[in-house]
Amino acid sequence: MAEPETNKTAKAGERPGPGRFICVDCGQEVRIDSTDQDLVKCPTCACEMYNCFPMTHIRPDIKTPEDVLNPPKRKTE
């Protein structure tokens, strides 16, 4: 399956937030699950630049870490 187009990049040492990061040189994938986790140099080739594929499935009403632990009730129509 082809990756969706992305124009967003991130550099090692940044805290880009949760998502998938694909090395621009070798294609190695690095995953980050936490908002306070630093992006590391590529474990394969030591490149510092990545294409970003941020997590997009987070509910819009989840805004804080506390909301994750105790999610707001879904609105019923």
- Taking only the tens place, the pLDDT of each residue in 30-61 is 998 888 899 999 999 999 999 988 765 556 66
- The pTM for the full model equals 0.62
Helix intervals (H) in the chain: 65-69
More confident residue, 11 or 65: 11
Is-contact 16 38, C-beta < 8 A?
A: no
CB atoms within 10 A of CB 12: 17
First to last CA, the chain: 36
